[in-house]
Amino acid sequence: MNEEDVIWDRLLQDFVSLPPTLFPTSAGPPTTPSPTIPDSPTLPPSSEQPCGISPTLRSELLTNIAEEVSGGPIIAGTYQERALNWLIGQDEFFVCPDNPKAYQRYILAAFYYATDGDNWAECSAPTSFDDPDAIAAANANCDIITTPIPGGNLNPLFLPTTQGDKAWLTPVYECEWAGITCRVETNCVDRIEFERNGLGGILPFELKDLDDLRFLILERGATQGTIPVEFGDIEDLVFLDLDFNQLEGTIPDQIYSFTNLVQLDLNNNLLSGTISPLIGNLRNLIFFQVSENQFTGAIPPEISQLTSLVTGSFELNENLSGSLEGLCESITSKPSYTLIADCNPLGPGLPPGFNAVVVRPVFQVYSVALHREMHNT
């Protein structure tokens, strides 16, 4: 059973009591309906006055939106400028400033340029935004699909969503871009998901204004920089999966405010600093991986408050110390679990009923997988 299966299995067993207002169940089988687009671009009343306003005023109003989201004047040479220039002058969808989704479209364009979208493995923007052949070629090189939530309406995380399958920055509603799912009820982004798609650059803090975002899954890329502290504003987040990138810096304290977080997967990066005692706030956390980073200091005793945890991985860090005794007591009560940490397999302290299996030696410290012996009696 892989890590995602463990998480979904636990959720389907109603192991975690999730707030009904955040994760309502829905009647009927899981579906991926076609998007309704109440906020489609405003049709221009005349070719001289698109959106009913002058091109200059439209540019000014879209610039105001970008500056509001990005927190100040748009600086030349930045990903924000590229996103704004595309929105104003190259986007054939031609969004009008009074369209509420103009904010969302700018944010996703900023994400595209911030993560070096032109060099993604697939689903990059067309080489020409107004050439039907270029758009068709871009869509032909786009096979990314998001992972469906198993269990349908029986899963507390299930919400009816649409799923995109088009290349990015093509002249369609942004919820139709691949790697994106949007909630049917609001047409707002629910998930951004990419794995092994060559994402680079940095994580744009503008994602903070995607109010309905619950899943941010950007695995196995080359994204650098830090985890933006502004991500703490994404109140509905339940999955934050950024493993196998090149992220640096610390885990922002704001991340520990995600009391509904189910998965925090940060392994195989260049993250450093300590694990904050605020980790104890994440009472619904099922999956927590920080292995193969550069964390130091003591694992806080508050880690034992993660009573929902099924998978924990701490091994191969710079100098991470401390006790997992309280966590061991909690996690081993689960029907299935994984706990991996650096410790001496010959030393004392392993709980009864465990085998210490040496995975590999590292500087005279061993990565040890703790497996409980399960017997049918």
Token digits for 224?
A: 């650098």
pLDDT digits (tens, 9 = 90+) for 166-176: 999 999 999 99
Q: What radius of gyration, in Å, describes the C-alpha atoms of the chain?
A: 23
pLDDT digits (tens, 9 = 90+) for 182-240: 999 999 999 999 999 999 999 999 999 999 999 999 999 999 999 999 999 999 999 99
Token digits for 245?
A: 């990138």
Q: Residue 14 above 80 pLDDT?
A: no
Lowest-confidence region among 7-11, 210-214, 329-333, 368-372 = 368-372
Dist. CA 131–CA 373, nearest whole Å: 62
The sheet with strand 272-273 has its strands ordered as 272-273, 294-298, 319-321
DSSP string, 226-256: B--GGGGG-TT--EEE--SS--BS---GGGG
Pairing type for strands 294-298 and 354-362 reads: unpaired
> What's residue 40's pLDDT?
44
Dist. CA 304–CA 328, nearest whole Å: 8
> What's residue 59's pLDDT?
97
> What's residue 368's pLDDT?
34
* Confidence bin at 332 (pLDDT 50/70/90): confident
pLDDT digits (tens, 9 = 90+) for 19-34: 433 333 333 333 344 4
> What's residue 139's pLDDT?
98
Residue 194, SS3? strand
pLDDT digits (tens, 9 = 90+) for 26-71: 333 333 444 444 444 444 444 567 899 999 999 999 999 999 999 9
pLDDT digits (tens, 9 = 90+) for 235-279: 999 999 999 999 999 999 999 999 899 999 999 999 999 999 999
Mean pLDDT of 335-354: 61
pLDDT digits (tens, 9 = 90+) for 308-323: 999 999 999 988 888 8
pTM of the model: 0.84
Q: Residue 327 above 50 pLDDT?
A: yes
Dist. CA 301–CA 284, nearest whole Å: 17
